[in-house]
Amino acid sequence: MAVTYQAMKDTARTLYERALKRIPENSHHALARAAATERSETGRNTLNFMIASARQAETRGTFVCSDAGFPVYFVKIGTRVRFDGDIKQAITDAFADLVDTIQPPILKFVTNPLTGERSYRGKDMPHVTWDLLSGADHIDITCSPKALGSGRWAALEIFSYPTLEEIERYVLEVSIRAGSQHCPPVVIGVGIGGSFDHAAKLAKLQTLRPFGSTNSEPILAAMEERLTRAVNATGFGPMGTGGDTTALGVHIDYAAGHGFTPVAVCFNCWINRRSRALIHNSGRVDWIE
Amino acid sequence: MSEIHLTLPLHPDTARSLRAGDILRVSGVAVATAGYPAHLRMAQGVRDGIPPPIDMAGAALFHMGSLSRRDDAGVMRPLYVNPTTSTRFNAFLPGIVRHFGLTVVAGKGGMDEDGVAALQQTGCVYLSMVGGAAALLTEGVTAVEATGWDDLIEQFRLSRLRLDGFGPLTVAIDAHGHSVYHDLTARARARLPAILDQLAKDRGG
């Protein structure tokens, strides 16, 4: 048995559609918890409207946010996985198939940065990050379509031997710069250390972590808690019109590096688009989210 | 807070009667686009004296894209709508607001200081939509009555939308120079020293 081109294509396509038409249950719970404690009446109403609209999208099989963004996948391949066909091409073909068949149709969002032209295809589309899983006999694939609304506000700065204070101040500054703009309440991903590219990847991956999951690094677990409180003390609130709930969580990872320390900060908006599945050698597909 | 029900386009006096923080539901007519190229054409039209393909005098301009199909009765109905970020159009908006005497700009993220001044001068409010809430917002749009600049991709065209109970919308910038975005940013910056002090305490430093 092996993971086939067809299984990869079908799964990648379905993951994109799931990411567009529902929000993770984990996000539903986080939004509901926030609505229960939010002190701003408008903020509370906004959170409840978000929850209701997301449920409506799910019930009717339509889009939560109808900006479909562009396709972004994270693929971890078990070292015991066997392939039958070109699984890289399968992801490219999955997006083309989605464009041809999804209902309602998606609009053109893939943008050429040099010409401004919009299309359903483009250079380096879909964005795929490949990784390996030691000993596993499955592929772990996450889809997280990305759009301008929250994507625009990510930032990265290179520090030299920063203190935790400097790192935390930077996360707050980037959050205040984003202000009301990124469809809060957001999840904030932070990557510390490594290299320019690695810190950005760490930050992005942290936006995919479920709310309530515990950071295995105690220093970061404590930083996540205090930064979540700090960002929410800014007061931008749901949809940035005021309130206690600006971030549903701050998730942080780090990597060893050298004396220079990149700190990357990025955001996912409240719909927190994320879907995930495992494809086994046996052909079985487990839908995780 | 109870929702205020209004019909678009507003009279400038009605726009001036609203205050930042008010919550609205709106019916009537709005002109919508999510397109940078559409704003570029509006601004060029203002400069060159060329009117847009859909009348915008005194209109409500919605920063919102849509995808529509004709139903069995021949009415163009939106399959979905979605607000977009207004601050992308900051450079164009003051001139557009003043030239057309807009009474509403709606979208997400607000407008900059020049935009706030244009709203105040014109008698126009900025309304915040809930981004990403396409499923419920779409229920408030009953028809796409006309489109213009159809050479652009669908969400960039100008569309005249018929609304019925569209919302909720928060008055985020009123016609008196009061911007929720400005106030919240100023307040966050003012709070920053205290927030940093609290972080230091939490670190045990």
Query: Are A168 and A181 contained in the same domain?
Result: yes
Query: Are A202 and A110 contained in the same domain?
Result: no
How crowded is residue A135: how many other Cβ atoms within 10 Å of its Cβ? 8
Looking up residue B76, the CATH number of its domain turns out to be: 3.20.130.10
Total domain count, chain B:
1
Query: Are A17 and A119 contained in the same domain?
Result: yes
Kindly report the backbone phi and psi dihedral angles of residue A98, in degrees, each rounded to the nearest multiple of 5, phi listed first: -60, -45
Q: What is the pLDDT along chain B (205 residues), one digit of tens a residue?
A: 789 999 999 999 999 999 999 999 999 999 999 999 999 999 999 999 999 999 999 999 999 999 999 999 999 999 999 999 999 999 999 999 999 999 999 999 999 999 999 999 999 999 999 999 999 999 999 999 999 999 999 999 999 999 999 999 999 999 999 999 999 999 999 999 999 999 999 999 6
Range of the domain at B17: 4-178
Report how many Cβ contacts below 8 Å link chain A to chain B.
166
Would you say residue A262 lies in a domain?
yes
User: Which of A60, A180, A269 lies at the smallest CB-CB distance from B181?
Assistant: A180
How crowded is residue B75: how many other Cβ atoms within 10 Å of its Cβ? 14
Query: Are A156 and A182 contained in the same domain?
Result: yes
CB contact under 8 A, A241 and B109: no
Query: Are A281 and A138 contained in the same domain?
Result: yes
Q: Sort out which chain B residues have CB atoms less than 8 A from A171's CB and list them.
A: none
Would you say residue B75 lies in a domain?
yes
Q: Sort out which chain B residues have CB atoms less than 8 A from A230's CB and list them.
A: 195, 198-199
Q: Is the ipTM of this complex over 0.90?
A: yes
| Residue A270: closest C-alpha in chain B | B132
Would you say residue B194 lies in a domain?
no
Q: Are B175 and B19 in contact (CB under 8 A)?
A: no
SS3 content of chain A, % helix, strand, coil (to 5): 40, 25, 35
Would you say residue B172 lies in a domain?
yes
Query: Are A91 and A222 contained in the same domain?
Result: no
CB contact under 8 A, A269 and B131: yes
Closest CA to A73 of A116, A117, A123, A11: A11
Q: What is the pLDDT along chain A (289 residues), one digit of tens a residue?
A: 899 999 999 999 999 999 999 999 999 999 999 999 999 999 999 999 999 999 999 999 999 998 999 999 999 999 999 999 999 999 999 999 999 999 999 999 999 999 999 999 999 999 999 999 999 999 999 999 999 989 999 999 999 999 999 999 999 999 999 999 999 999 999 999 999 999 999 999 999 999 999 999 999 999 999 999 999 999 999 999 999 999 999 999 999 999 899 999 999 999 999 999 999 999 999 999 9
Q: What is the DSSP string of chain B?
A: -PPEEEEESPPHHHHHH--TT-EEEEEEEEEEE--HHHHHHHHHHHHHT---SS--TTPEEEEEEEEEEE-TTS-EEEEEEEE-BGGGGTTTHHHHHHHHT-SEEEEBS---HHHHHHHHHHT-EEEE--TT-HHHHHTTEEEEEEEE-TTS-GGGSEEEEEEEEEEEEEEEE-TTS-BHHHHHHHHHHHHHHHHHHHHHHHHT-
Chain A closest CA to B98's CA: distance in Å?
24
CB contact under 8 A, B134 and A62: yes
- For residue A184, the 8-state DSSP code is S
**Looking at chain A, how many residues does it have?**
289
CA distance B31 to B54: 8
CA distance B160 to A95: 32
Would you say residue B192 lies in a domain?
no
- Lookup: tokens for A113: 């940065």
- For residue A146, the 8-state DSSP code is B
CB contact under 8 A, A104 and B172: no
Would you say residue A28 lies in a domain?
no
Total domain count, chain A:
2
Range of the domain at A221: 148-268
> What are the pLDDT digits (tens) for A190-199?
999 999 999 9
Would you say residue B199 lies in a domain?
no
